Amino acid sequence: MPKTQCTDGVVGAILASWRYDISGISPEMRRDYEQHLAECARCSARQRFHRSLDGALAVLTSLSALFFLFALSVLKHIKPLEHMAFKILGLDIYDMYHMLISAGVAGLCFSLIALALVLMATPAPSYLSGIAVERARLIEARLPERIRSIRLR
Ligand SMILES: [Zn+2]
């Protein structure tokens, strides 16, 4: 976080209460805030920080959902009755298997709910799609002229 002062304390406080997300307000109202974000180094840095936090949350919750899906698919494919760990540890195979399946399903549900909450409560979708559009533009700019002319047809 930069140690610089906000150029307009009132606007800065309003922006801070919205977590520097102005995507929800009307374009006419947004103009003043966009101007402040362009002028104020402190607020624009904080906006970038909050948006990257939102993006990180969205990525983490979707990764968590993916890992739980992976765990469930692994559980489906191993043969729990033949697995050495069960024999060595002397676990009740049937109960253990069902407990693992329940934990996997619960974890998957929890991660999907968390992902849905992140996507609804934060501007992460527009932030992440903005990054994707920017990357696509950079890649397209690096393409050789011949390929670019084919794409534009
Ligand atoms: Zn400011």
Centre of ligand 1 from the C-alpha of residue 20, in Å: 10
Centre of ligand 1 from the C-alpha of residue 141, in Å: 34
Centre of ligand 1 from the C-alpha of residue 148, in Å: 41
Average pLDDT, the chain: 85
Show the 3-state SS of the chain.
CCCCCCCCHHHHHHHHHCCCCCCCCCHHHHHHHHHHHHHCHHHHHHHHHHHHHHHHHHHHHHHHHHHHHHHHHHHHHCCCCCCHHHHHHCCCHHHHHHHHHHHHHHHHHHHHHHHHHHHHHCCHHHHHHHHHHHHHHHHHHHCCHHHHHHHHC
- 46 part of a folded domain: no
- 68 part of a folded domain: yes
Q: So what's the pLDDT on residue 2?
A: 47
Host domain of residue 84:
51-152
Q: What is the pTM of this model?
A: 0.70
- 45 part of a folded domain: no
Domain count of the fold of the chain: 1
Centre of ligand 1 from the C-alpha of residue 31, in Å: 14
Q: So what's the pLDDT on residue 28?
A: 84
- 108 part of a folded domain: yes
- 102 part of a folded domain: yes
Q: So what's the pLDDT on residue 153?
A: 57
Q: So what's the pLDDT on residue 80?
A: 60
Spans in the chain with pLDDT lower than 70: 1-3, 79-87, 91, 151-153
